[in-house]
Structure 1
Amino acid sequence: MTNGRQKAEQNLQSFEVWKATQTDDDFKQIVFRGQLNRGDVAKAVGCGKSALNQNPALKDALINLEDSLRDKGVLPKLTETALKNVGKPKQYDNTANRTLLTSKRASALEAENIELKAKIKELESKLERFGELNETLSEMGFMPR
């Protein structure tokens, strides 16, 4: 049975073999949000996604690969904000879920509001038409009892 260090070394070797067999077009197929899709890389290498973050050598190799792909133009360049935040942990936003739910609710209410306004216009035009018909029948003396 292999220990953790041996497994980490195997993962790194598997990554290097996988990297050598890929073309720029292959890398373009797994781009997600400006970087290589970690899930797809982990599947291809045969390791868990956590190994890509927890194995320092593998993490550095992946970052170096992405940097070289950026230089070639396969991956988009990092923005200034992204460059400032490289290596920093992402700040947790505890209001993100509430904001998303509020946004969805507002969108649904706006759609319902538009539908109701259209229905009101339709009913007002019908009311106007039937009001004129009622007035005409009344003047002619054909009022129903």
Structure 2
Amino acid sequence: MANGQERARENLVAFQRWAATQTDDDFKQIVFRGQLNRGEVAKAIGIGKSALRQNPAIKSALEHLETDLREKGVLPPLTESAKQQRSEPKPYDASAKQRSLESKRLSVLEQENIELKARVATLEAKLKRYGELSEVLTEFGVAP
């Protein structure tokens, strides 16, 4: 059984072999959001997507491949914001989960509020109708 380092080297060789056999048109078929679709690349090579992210050699080779493809015009050029996002780590937002939960709760409460308003309107219409019926019965001397 191969250890982690051997497996990483095998994956790198598999990536390099795959990249060498692809044409520009093949790469164009798997472009997603301005870069190569990681899932499709991993499937074609026969490795997990995690290897593309976690194996530094494959990650570097993939970035180099994408840079070459951008120079050839196969991939669109990176925007300034994309370049900046690549160089800076994404800031952690501790309150994101809380905001998400509050947003879901707000949505549920708004839906419930709409349903209750509709129910109140229906009941008020019924009450008005029965109020008129009660007045008619009182006029005829039949006390409810």
- Distance of aligned partners of 1:66 and 1:133 in 2 relative to their CA distance in 1, 3 Å threshold: farther
Moved more, 84-93 or 12-21: 12-21
**Aligned letter for 1:113?**
N
Map of 1:45 onto structure 2: 45
1:8-87 mapped onto 2 (5 Å cutoff): 8-19=8-19, 20-21=21-22, 23-24=26-27, 26-28=29-31, 31=32, 35-67=35-67, 68=69, 71-72=73-74, 78-87=78-87
8 A contact 2:42–2:49 mirrored in 1? yes
TM-score (norm 2): 0.73
Aligned to 2:102: 102
| Distance in 2 separating the partners of 1:35 and 1:44 | 16
Output the CA distance in 1 between the equivalents of 2:12 and 2:44. Answer: 12
Deviation of 1:59 (Å): 1.0
Q: Percent same amino acid at aligned positions?
A: 51
What SS class does the counterpart of residue 72 from structure 1 fall into?
A: coil
RMSD (CA atoms): 3.0
Calculate the TM-score normalised by the size of structure 1.
0.73
Structure 2 residue identity aligned to 1:8: A
Letter in 2 for 1:105: R
Q: Is the 8 A contact 2:14 2:45 kept in 1?
A: yes
CA distance in 1, matches of 2:49, 2:38: 6
Amino acid at match of 1:56: P
Deviation at 1:48, TM superposition (A): 3.6
For the pair 1:92 / 2:95, whether they are aligned, the reply is no
Residues in 2 aligned to 1:15 and 1:112: alpha-carbon distance in whole angstroms:
53
The alpha-carbon deviation at position 6 of structure 1 amounts to 4.6
Following TM superposition, by how much is the alpha carbon of 1:35 offset from its aligned partner in structure 2, in angstroms?
Answer: 4.2
Change (3 A) 1:77 1:122: farther
Give the count of matched residue pairs: 139
The residue number in structure 2 matching 1:127 is 127
Match of residue 142 from structure 1: 142
| Structure 2 alignment gaps of length 5 or more | none
